[in-house]
Protein backbone atom coordinates (compact mmCIF):
# COMPACT_ATOMS: atom_id res chain seq x y z
CA UNK A 1 0.00 0.00 0.00
CA UNK A 2 1.43 3.32 -1.08
CA UNK A 3 0.66 6.62 0.63
CA UNK A 4 1.54 10.15 -0.43
CA UNK A 5 2.02 12.77 2.27
CA UNK A 6 1.81 16.42 1.23
CA UNK A 7 2.98 18.44 4.23
CA UNK A 8 5.29 21.44 4.39
CA UNK A 9 6.28 21.13 8.05
CA UNK A 10 9.23 18.80 7.80
CA UNK A 11 8.95 17.62 11.42
CA UNK A 12 5.35 16.51 10.94
CA UNK A 13 6.11 15.03 7.51
CA UNK A 14 8.95 12.92 8.95
CA UNK A 15 6.88 11.89 11.94
CA UNK A 16 4.08 10.71 9.65
CA UNK A 17 6.44 8.95 7.26
CA UNK A 18 8.23 7.08 10.06
CA UNK A 19 4.96 6.07 11.70
CA UNK A 20 3.40 4.85 8.46
CA UNK A 21 6.56 3.01 7.38
CA UNK A 22 6.51 1.22 10.73
CA UNK A 23 3.04 0.04 9.74
CA UNK A 24 4.51 -1.30 6.49
CA UNK A 25 3.11 1.35 4.19
CA UNK A 26 5.33 2.65 1.45
CA UNK A 27 5.48 6.44 1.71
CA UNK A 28 6.37 9.39 -0.52
CA UNK A 29 6.62 12.88 0.94
CA UNK A 30 6.08 16.17 -0.90
CA UNK A 31 7.04 19.29 1.02
CA UNK A 32 5.00 21.71 -1.07
CA UNK A 33 1.77 21.74 -3.01
CA UNK A 34 3.10 21.74 -6.54
CA UNK A 35 5.39 18.76 -5.87
CA UNK A 36 2.46 17.03 -4.19
CA UNK A 37 0.25 17.58 -7.19
CA UNK A 38 2.98 16.40 -9.55
CA UNK A 39 3.42 13.14 -7.61
CA UNK A 40 -0.34 12.65 -7.21
CA UNK A 41 -0.93 12.94 -10.94
CA UNK A 42 2.07 10.91 -12.12
CA UNK A 43 2.15 8.05 -9.66
CA UNK A 44 -0.40 5.65 -8.27
CA UNK A 45 -1.25 5.87 -4.59
CA UNK A 46 -3.69 4.00 -2.41
CA UNK A 47 -4.27 7.08 -0.26
CA UNK A 48 -3.20 10.72 -0.11
CA UNK A 49 -2.77 12.76 3.07
CA UNK A 50 -2.87 16.48 2.37
CA UNK A 51 -2.13 19.33 4.72
CA UNK A 52 -4.52 22.23 4.32
CA UNK A 53 -2.11 25.12 4.76
CA UNK A 54 0.68 24.78 2.22
CA UNK A 55 2.89 27.33 0.50
CA UNK A 56 2.04 27.73 -3.18
CA UNK A 57 -0.82 25.40 -3.99
CA UNK A 58 -3.17 24.92 -1.03
CA UNK A 59 -4.46 21.57 0.16
CA UNK A 60 -7.93 22.35 -1.10
CA UNK A 61 -6.61 23.28 -4.54
CA UNK A 62 -4.62 20.03 -4.69
CA UNK A 63 -7.71 18.06 -3.72
CA UNK A 64 -9.78 19.73 -6.45
CA UNK A 65 -7.07 19.10 -9.05
CA UNK A 66 -6.66 15.44 -8.10
CA UNK A 67 -10.43 14.90 -8.30
CA UNK A 68 -10.50 16.12 -11.90
CA UNK A 69 -8.67 13.00 -12.99
CA UNK A 70 -8.99 10.60 -10.08
CA UNK A 71 -12.34 10.20 -8.35
CA UNK A 72 -11.40 7.14 -6.37
CA UNK A 73 -8.18 7.66 -4.45
CA UNK A 74 -9.05 8.37 -0.81
CA UNK A 75 -7.90 11.82 0.31
CA UNK A 76 -7.63 12.68 3.99
CA UNK A 77 -6.77 16.25 4.84
CA UNK A 78 -4.96 17.52 7.88
CA UNK A 79 -6.08 20.83 9.21
CA UNK A 80 -5.00 23.13 11.98
CA UNK A 81 -8.04 25.22 11.20
CA UNK A 82 -11.12 23.91 12.82
CA UNK A 83 -13.85 26.19 11.65
CA UNK A 84 -16.85 24.41 10.30
CA UNK A 85 -16.68 26.13 6.92
CA UNK A 86 -13.10 24.95 6.32
CA UNK A 87 -14.12 21.40 7.02
CA UNK A 88 -17.13 21.65 4.73
CA UNK A 89 -14.98 23.19 1.98
CA UNK A 90 -12.47 20.37 2.24
CA UNK A 91 -15.12 17.67 2.00
CA UNK A 92 -16.92 19.47 -0.83
CA UNK A 93 -13.62 19.73 -2.71
CA UNK A 94 -13.55 15.95 -2.76
CA UNK A 95 -11.71 14.87 0.39
CA UNK A 96 -13.05 11.73 2.07
CA UNK A 97 -12.19 12.59 5.64
CA UNK A 98 -10.30 15.11 7.71
CA UNK A 99 -8.32 15.14 10.91
CA UNK A 100 -7.61 18.14 13.06
CA UNK A 101 -4.11 19.01 14.23
CA UNK A 102 -2.87 18.26 16.79
CA UNK A 103 -3.85 14.61 16.39
CA UNK A 104 -2.87 11.28 17.85
CA UNK A 105 -1.05 9.07 15.36
CA UNK A 106 -3.28 6.13 16.35
CA UNK A 107 -6.38 8.05 15.34
CA UNK A 108 -4.89 9.04 12.01
CA UNK A 109 -3.88 5.44 11.38
CA UNK A 110 -7.37 4.18 12.21
CA UNK A 111 -8.91 6.67 9.77
CA UNK A 112 -6.44 5.71 7.06
CA UNK A 113 -7.34 2.03 7.52
CA UNK A 114 -11.06 2.80 7.20
CA UNK A 115 -10.43 4.62 3.93
CA UNK A 116 -8.29 1.82 2.52
CA UNK A 117 -10.86 -0.77 3.49
CA UNK A 118 -13.86 1.05 2.01
CA UNK A 119 -12.02 1.67 -1.25
CA UNK A 120 -12.06 -2.04 -2.08
CA UNK A 121 -14.40 -3.47 -4.71
CA UNK A 122 -18.10 -2.77 -4.20
CA UNK A 123 -19.55 -5.68 -2.27
CA UNK A 124 -23.04 -7.08 -2.77
CA UNK A 125 -23.84 -6.81 0.92
CA UNK A 126 -23.10 -3.86 3.12
CA UNK A 127 -23.23 -4.20 6.87
CA UNK A 128 -22.89 -2.29 10.06
CA UNK A 129 -23.25 -3.90 13.46
CA UNK A 130 -26.44 -5.99 13.19
CA UNK A 131 -27.57 -4.26 10.03
CA UNK A 132 -27.21 -5.92 6.59
CA UNK A 133 -28.17 -4.41 3.24
CA UNK A 134 -28.25 -6.73 0.25
CA UNK A 135 -27.75 -4.79 -2.99
CA UNK A 136 -28.83 -7.64 -5.26
CA UNK A 137 -32.15 -8.51 -3.57
CA UNK A 138 -32.76 -4.95 -2.33
CA UNK A 139 -33.46 -6.19 1.16
CA UNK A 140 -32.40 -4.84 4.54
CA UNK A 141 -32.14 -6.93 7.67
CA UNK A 142 -31.51 -6.01 11.25
CA UNK A 143 -30.37 -8.85 13.47
CA UNK A 144 -31.83 -11.21 10.87
CA UNK A 145 -35.27 -9.57 10.72
CA UNK A 146 -36.25 -7.90 7.47
CA UNK A 147 -36.99 -4.18 7.58
CA UNK A 148 -39.22 -2.75 4.86
CA UNK A 149 -37.85 0.44 3.38
CA UNK A 150 -39.19 2.66 0.64
CA UNK A 151 -37.06 3.12 -2.47
CA UNK A 152 -35.77 6.47 -1.26
CA UNK A 153 -35.01 5.19 2.24
CA UNK A 154 -33.14 2.27 0.71
CA UNK A 155 -31.08 4.56 -1.54
CA UNK A 156 -30.25 6.81 1.38
CA UNK A 157 -29.19 3.92 3.61
CA UNK A 158 -27.20 2.40 0.74
CA UNK A 159 -25.28 5.64 0.25
CA UNK A 160 -24.50 6.01 3.95
CA UNK A 161 -23.43 2.36 4.29
CA UNK A 162 -21.36 2.46 1.13
CA UNK A 163 -19.48 5.38 2.65
CA UNK A 164 -19.32 3.80 6.10
CA UNK A 165 -16.65 5.48 8.19
CA UNK A 166 -16.71 8.61 6.07
CA UNK A 167 -18.59 11.83 6.61
CA UNK A 168 -21.26 12.34 3.94
CA UNK A 169 -22.02 16.02 3.42
CA UNK A 170 -25.63 17.08 2.90
CA UNK A 171 -24.69 18.14 -0.60
CA UNK A 172 -23.14 14.73 -1.41
CA UNK A 173 -26.23 12.92 -0.19
CA UNK A 174 -28.67 15.15 -2.06
CA UNK A 175 -26.65 14.87 -5.25
CA UNK A 176 -26.40 11.09 -5.05
CA UNK A 177 -29.75 10.09 -3.62
CA UNK A 178 -32.04 12.80 -4.98
CA UNK A 179 -29.90 13.33 -8.07
CA UNK A 180 -30.31 17.07 -7.87
CA UNK A 181 -28.10 19.91 -6.72
CA UNK A 182 -29.35 21.40 -3.52
CA UNK A 183 -29.06 25.07 -2.50
CA UNK A 184 -32.80 25.52 -2.64
CA UNK A 185 -34.17 23.17 -0.01
CA UNK A 186 -32.60 20.13 1.56
CA UNK A 187 -35.12 19.68 4.36
CA UNK A 188 -36.47 16.47 2.81
CA UNK A 189 -33.10 14.93 3.63
CA UNK A 190 -33.74 15.39 7.35
CA UNK A 191 -37.25 14.02 6.95
CA UNK A 192 -35.93 10.84 5.32
CA UNK A 193 -33.15 10.51 7.89
CA UNK A 194 -35.88 10.55 10.54
CA UNK A 195 -37.91 7.91 8.69
CA UNK A 196 -34.83 5.70 8.51
CA UNK A 197 -33.95 6.20 12.15
CA UNK A 198 -37.45 5.21 13.23
CA UNK A 199 -37.18 1.98 11.29
CA UNK A 200 -33.58 1.13 12.12
CA UNK A 201 -32.93 2.44 15.60
CA UNK A 202 -35.33 0.37 17.61
CA UNK A 203 -33.04 -0.33 20.56
CA UNK A 204 -32.90 1.96 23.60
CA UNK A 205 -30.52 4.86 22.97
CA UNK A 206 -29.50 3.32 19.66
CA UNK A 207 -27.87 5.74 17.22
CA UNK A 208 -26.85 4.13 13.94
CA UNK A 209 -26.95 7.28 11.81
CA UNK A 210 -24.84 9.98 13.42
CA UNK A 211 -25.46 13.64 12.76
CA UNK A 212 -22.35 15.68 12.03
CA UNK A 213 -23.76 19.06 12.94
CA UNK A 214 -23.80 21.56 10.10
CA UNK A 215 -22.05 19.11 7.75
CA UNK A 216 -24.08 15.99 7.17
CA UNK A 217 -24.41 12.41 8.37
CA UNK A 218 -22.28 9.33 8.88
CA UNK A 219 -22.54 5.70 9.84
CA UNK A 220 -19.40 4.78 11.73
CA UNK A 221 -18.16 3.23 14.94
CA UNK A 222 -18.30 5.61 17.88
CA UNK A 223 -14.93 6.98 18.95
Q: Can residue 153 be called a binding residue for Ca ion (CB under 5 A)?
A: no
Q: Can residue 31 be called a binding residue for Ca ion (CB under 5 A)?
A: no
Shorter beta-carbon distance to Ca ion: residue 17 or 197 = 17
Q: Is residue 44 within 8 Å of 71, Cβ to Cβ?
A: no
Q: Which of residues 41-70 bind Ca ion (CB under 5 A)?
A: 51, 53
Shorter beta-carbon distance to Ca ion: residue 32 or 134 = 32
Count of residues interacting with Ca ion (CB under 5 A) = 3
- Residue 31 burial (C-beta neighbours within 10 Å; 0-12, 13-18, 19+): middle
Min separation Cβ 101 and Ca ion, Å: 9
- Residue 64 burial (C-beta neighbours within 10 Å; 0-12, 13-18, 19+): middle
Shorter beta-carbon distance to Ca ion: residue 55 or 123 = 55
What CA dihedral angle connects 194, 199, 205 and 208, to 10 degrees?
-80
Shorter beta-carbon distance to Ca ion: residue 55 or 203 = 55
- Residue 28 burial (C-beta neighbours within 10 Å; 0-12, 13-18, 19+): middle
Q: Can residue 8 be called a binding residue for Ca ion (CB under 5 A)?
A: yes
Min separation Cβ 23 and Ca ion, Å: 23
Residues that bind Ca ion in the complex, under the rule CB under 5 A: 8, 51, 53
Amino acid sequence: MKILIVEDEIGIANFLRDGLEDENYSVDVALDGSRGLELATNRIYDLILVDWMLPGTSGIEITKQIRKTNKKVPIVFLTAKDTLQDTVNGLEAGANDYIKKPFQFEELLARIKVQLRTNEEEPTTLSFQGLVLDTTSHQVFKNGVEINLTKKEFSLLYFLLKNKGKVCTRNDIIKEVWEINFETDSSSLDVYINFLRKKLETGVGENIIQTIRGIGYTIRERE
